[in-house]
Every structure is written in C-alpha cells, then in structure tokens.
A and B are shown apart, each in its own frame.
Chain A
Amino acid sequence: MVAQAWEWLDTVPDPELPSVTITDLGIVRDIREEADALVVALTPTYSGCPATAVIEEDVTRALHEHGVKNVRIEHRLAPAWTTDWITPRGRERLKEHGIAPPAADIGDGIVILSPSTSLGINEVEGPIQCPHCGSPTTTELSHFGSTPCKALYRCEICREPFDYVKPH
C-alpha cells in the first residue's frame, strides 16, 4: 500500500510549479499505514507558501480517487525543507519549463557579510545558467520572483527573463 501510494503521489503536480510533482520537490517526507488511516507527512517549502493548503487537498483527493478512504496529513517542520531535496528528475523538469534549478546549497542560512561586495546573490553562488540558451552570463533582477521560492533573472545573451529557484 505504501509503495503504491508513493507512486500515486508521484503524479500530483505542485500548484505553483506545475511542471514538477510534489515528490520531485521533496515535499512528501513520509507515508505510513496506521490502524485508522494512511498518514502522509508533508513539509512546507516556505512557511508562508500559500500552496501548502492546496497541496494537502490535492494529496487527499489523489488518494481518495485511488480508493484510500482515510487519509491523515501530518505537518513536518524539522528538518526544514531544502532545495537539496529536489530530485534530479525535478531539476530537469524545471529546466525544461524555463525555470533555472538551484545552483548550490547555502548551508545553514547564516549570511556572511563580505565587505568587498554589494552582495548580489550571483557573487555568492557563482553563475546561474540560463534555462533557455544555457548561457552562464545572467544577471539577477530581484532577490524575489513570482513566488517566495524564486528569484528573477535575465539572460544577457538571449535577453530572456527567467525564474530561478533559490538555493534554500
């Protein structure tokens, strides 16, 4: 049952990044059978992400459609979600849909102030590749993009703007 449930949830798209599934993003942390219900542990990507409630509904609906009557959603905060949990397939799918996958992990999130730079995210992590033409010559337009998990970039070669999933 549990293995089957993983397969079912593997087809549930993320509401805000519909090119990837919730399992691609590493949002589903655990599935287990308990006496009264099938328990699915989910973790939020960002604490204020409005997609969290939609994801819960989508998971419950998907399992109901496959005949699982009792579903219980469990919220799991720790360990905190990281973009390191995005699967290789998820990264490929993001790229195919014009969204640059995260470059590297930023560790535990302590930001070190470097006196010599004005701290563009680019300078911290190295070049972000354009998902359209593959050029590494890109510029950050804004630390924040269309959703909390993304920053806004522009490619200096093909001149296309693109979303970049920030290492988190």
Chain B
Amino acid sequence: MTGHPEARAKRASKGRVEYLLRLGDNALVLAQRSAAWVAHAPVMEEDVALANVALDLFGQAKLWLEYAGKLENGGRDADALAFHRDSGDFRNLLLVERPNGNFADTIVRGYFYDAWANLALHALARSSDEHVAAIAAKSAKETAYHLHRSEDWLIRLGDGTELSHDRAQHAVDELWRFTGEMFLGDDVDAEMTSAGIGFDPASLREAWLERIGIAFANAALAQPADDWMQRGGKQGHHSEALSYLLAEMQVLPRTYTGAQW
C-alpha cells in the first residue's frame, strides 16, 4: 500500500464497509425471501420455522448494516442502507436472491447458504475486528439451527416420495450454478483476508463440498457437475429477481419517508 496515511485509512475503511455490506445484504435478502413464505408454507410448523429463520436473518442483517453505516460515517443507519439503496448497490450473493419457487427450491437455496454461512461465520468469529467477531459468533449460533433444519429437510425431500425427490433434484440442478460465487474471492476479499478481518472464500470450498456430499448421499440426490458458475452479485451485478424483491421490501419507507410504527 502506498500514499498518504489518511488516504490509506480511508481506502481500508471503504473495503471494510464493502465487506460488511456483503455480509449484511446476504442475510437481508434471504430474510426477505424466507418471510415471503409466511401464510404460504405447506404446513403450519414450517410457516413458523420460515418466519423464525427470517427473523434471525433480519437481526443479523441489522447488526452488519449498522456497523457498515457506522464505519462509512456518512449518516446512514441500518434502515437507510436496507431501504434506500437500489439493486446495483446491493452486494449479496446471487444465490440468495433466487426466487422462492416451490418448497424444495426454497429448502435447497437455504441449505446451500446455511452450509456456507456456518463455515463463513466460524471463520469470521476469529476476525481481528472485535465487532465483526462478536456479530459472527452470535450469528453462528443461530445459523447452526438453520442448517440443522434445512439439512434435515433436504434429506427428507430427497429421500422422500418420487415427487419430492424429483423436485429436490431439480432445485439442486437449477441452483448449483449459483454456488460457485460463494468461493470466488476478489480484491475486497484479499484485502480483508490480509488484514485478518475476513477469510479467503476459496478456503471454505472443500469443507462445504464435503458436507454437501454427505447430505446428498443421505438424500439420494446427485451432485451436479461443476460447469459454468454465475458471478457478480458481490460486485453489484444482479438479476431482475432482486429488483422485484427490493420493490416490495422498500415501497413503504420510500413512499412514506420517515414513517414510524
């Protein structure tokens, strides 16, 4: 790194804000997706479960975004970041913005994310940034339960009826190309890894594949071949699916600025 110390500090903080937005946006977008199931789930218990998972993820998103806003130091709090950014400003993985589809689509999407988040949050719990470590340690406990449930359902669906198996396999095949991005690092990842704040995304791949492989075997699901992987969500290149999600999530605070409960 070169340049004036102040410019250097500013750059470092910009990378960290970017990194926090990624973590917060993953949780926020998946929370909004999960919450959309409320009153639509196949059984009441799952309705409750999806709502609770969403609540945990909203809470995690709030913690990450609050911290991002604080470091950004531009007067934006968690609400401003959640409700007053457009899709190009979102930094979530493409995986979490995939539409809900049927119950199997939702379970498989959640499972791929939960298995990754379980590893990512444990890595972040060792962050040199104490606040990152605290949020990660807290979130990791919640995500452990999410993973427990989504893995359980993956196996039940895959190893269930012919219909549930086919739908689960179809979901796996459709969503697989969105999993590569979780392990693909860029400059921000490299900067955060060398600062001891973050982790190298590629380092999680082996453990993730191992876990997924065992679950697939138990679920009688076939692991797709690694073909072309979609990328770009972390850098702000999203599918139109995110625009529709944001339109619904943001309409109230954007229409009635400053609205309070």
Instruction: Tell me the A residues contacting B by CB distance below 8 Å.
Output: 44, 46-50, 77-82, 106, 108-111, 113, 115, 118-121, 141-148, 152, 166, 168
Contacts and interface: CB of A to CB of B under 8 A. Distances in A.
8 contacts: A44-B59, A46-B59, A48-B57, A77-B131, A108-B140, A110-B144, A144-B49, A152-B48
Contacts of A82: 141
Contacts of A47: 56, 59-60, 62-63, 135, 138-139, 142
B145 interface: yes
A115 B49 contact: no
A143 B145 contact: yes
Interface pairs A-B: 4 shortest CB-CB:
A48-B59, A47-B59, A142-B45, A78-B134
Contact of B137 (A78, A120, A144, A148): A78
Contact of A148 (B55, B62, B134, B139): B55
B46 interface: yes
Q: How large is the interface on B (under 10, 10 to 19, 20 to 34, 35 or more residues)?
A: 35 or more
A48 B56 CA distance: 5
B147 A148 contact: no
B48 A144 contact: yes
Given A77-B63, A113-B151, A113-B215, A46 B55 contact: yes
Contacts of B60: 47-48
Contacts of B143: 109
Interface in B160-183: none
Contact of A120 (B135, B152, B217, B218): B152
B86 interface: no
Given A80-B138, A111-B148, 5 more contacts: A80-B141, A106-B141, A110-B118, A115-B218, A144-B49
B47 to A, nearest CB: 10
B184 interface: no
A153 B147 CA distance: 19
Contact of B155 (A110, A118, A142): A118
Contacts of B62: 47-48
A143 B53 CA distance: 10
Nearest to B57: A48
Given A77-B134, A152-B45, A115 B55 contact: no
Contact of A111 (B52, B55, B147): B147
B149 interface: yes
B217 A115 contact: yes
